[in-house]
């Protein structure tokens, strides 16, 4: 768990237990280790990732290979977070797995799923009355089999109280980055994203946070200009500045930028400025005017207006809730106040 720099108590990595169904999606199974396993905090690794399965030994994968899993479901008892991987297609939840998930939830364990793992959570009764999502091809089946849940079919992932669900395949990356950000802050999550060569934490909406994430990038013609702009967020960049760097007209830049990023250059720039502001609010004690200047939003009033529209919180309220300085660094991962989050696809 994270500790403040002045706290010399022994560090203990947050234990994440991943249940592998059979057949398991190897991509689903690789995501937690690929991302959570890269988290380093003062004192050692941020997470310990353990894979288990109802019947230890060789299990099938959706790619036709056989995978040896050493641990059984007894590993779930020590989990701080329990994550159920998916198969990428329909399957009947294993009764032993369902029982283990239900017992873990009763102990207060944070529960998450990737892809069709949501069916296990639903069978355990954890999604009744909750918002949830799953792989889009399975969404209607999940809705029809478990009508007591509130299906969000067009989102990447949903957090509702102690339960998180994500849609298919790469959305598991977004979910794990969200977990890292929740536990250790935006700076750590973005560092992990850079190390893994994946997109940074994609923001979204919850009851007090209404945000629209950027679509995945679909080209690299403007990549150099995006990188150049990211290093100059504190400067008053214009469309003309961006076009000049790219060596094209404003019209051509706008067309290429939208084709690659799904948004206009100025929309992209504003998104990056707000993300930088959030990171500074989480990781520094800078006064609001300095935060605004450092991310290119100009004044504290401008920062306030943009952040309230994006998150529903003022800068001071955002810092109070998400700051990683001082006593908040001692918050144990997974113990933050229960909330509901839906991140748009």
CA dihedral 176, 180, 181, 184 (to 10 degrees): 180
Which residue has 């999604």 as its token pair?
Answer: 127
Residue among 337, 330, 338 nearest 1 (CA): 330
Is-catalytic flag, 52? Answer: no
Are residues 211 and 278 in contact, defined by beta-carbon separation less than 8 angstroms? no
State phi, psi for 262 to the nearest 5 degrees. 80, 0
Residue among 283, 288, 310 nearest 300 (CA): 288
- Cα 339 from Cα 160, distance rounded (Å): 6
Q: What angle do CA 179, 230, 208 make, to 5 degrees?
A: 40
The CB-side HSE value for 68 (13 A sphere, CA atoms) comes to 1
Residue among 293, 291, 263, 296 nearest 278 (CA): 291
User: Which residue is catalytic, options 52, 115, 176, 295?
Assistant: 115
Peptide bond into 326 cis (omega under 30): no
- Cα 228 from Cα 47, distance rounded (Å): 33
State phi, psi for 78 to the nearest 5 degrees. -100, 10
Residues classed as catalytic: 115
């Amino acid at each position: 768990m994270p500790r403040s720099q002045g706290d010399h108590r022994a560090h203990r990595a947050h234990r994440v237990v991943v249940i592998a169904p059979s057949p398991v999606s190897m991509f689903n199974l690789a995501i937690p280790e690929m991302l959570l396993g890269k988290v380093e905090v003062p004192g050692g690794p941020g997470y310990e990732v353990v894979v288990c399965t109802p019947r230890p030994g060789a299990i099938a994968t959706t790619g036709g290979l056989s995978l040896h899993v050493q641990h059984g479901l007894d590993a779930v008892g020590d989990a701080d977070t329990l994550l159920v991987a998916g198969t990428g297609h329909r399957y009947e939840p294993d009764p032993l797995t369902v029982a283990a998930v239900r017992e873990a939830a009763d102990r207060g364990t944070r529960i998450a799923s990737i892809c069709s793992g949501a069916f296990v959570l639903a069978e355990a009764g954890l999604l009744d009355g909750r918002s949830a999502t799953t792989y889009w091809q399975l969404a209607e089946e999940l809705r029809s089999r478990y009508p007591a849940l509130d299906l969000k079919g067009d989102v990447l992932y949903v957090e509702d109280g102690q339960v998180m669900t994500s849609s298919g395949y790469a959305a598991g990356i977004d979910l794990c980055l969200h977990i890292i950000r929740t536990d250790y802050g935006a700076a750590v999550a973005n560092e992990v994203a850079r190390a893994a060569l994946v997109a940074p934490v994609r923001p979204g909406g919850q009851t007090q946070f209404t945000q629209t994430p950027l679509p995945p990038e679909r080209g690299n013609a403007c990549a150099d200009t995006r990188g150049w702009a990211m290093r100059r967020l504190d400067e008053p960049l214009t469309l003309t500045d961006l076009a000049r760097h790219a060596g094209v007209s404003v019209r051509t830049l706008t067309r290429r930028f939208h084709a690659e990023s799904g948004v206009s250059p100025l929309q992209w720039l504003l998104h990056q400025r707000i993300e930088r502001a959030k990171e500074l609010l989480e990781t520094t004690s800078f006064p609001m005017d300095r935060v605004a200047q450092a991310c290119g939003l100009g004044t504290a009033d401008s920062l306030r207006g943009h952040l309230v529209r994006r998150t529903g919180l003022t800068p001071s309220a955002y810092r109070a809730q998400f700051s990683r300085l001082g006593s908040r660094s001692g918050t144990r991962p997974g113990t933050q106040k229960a909330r509901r989050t839906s991140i748009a696809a």
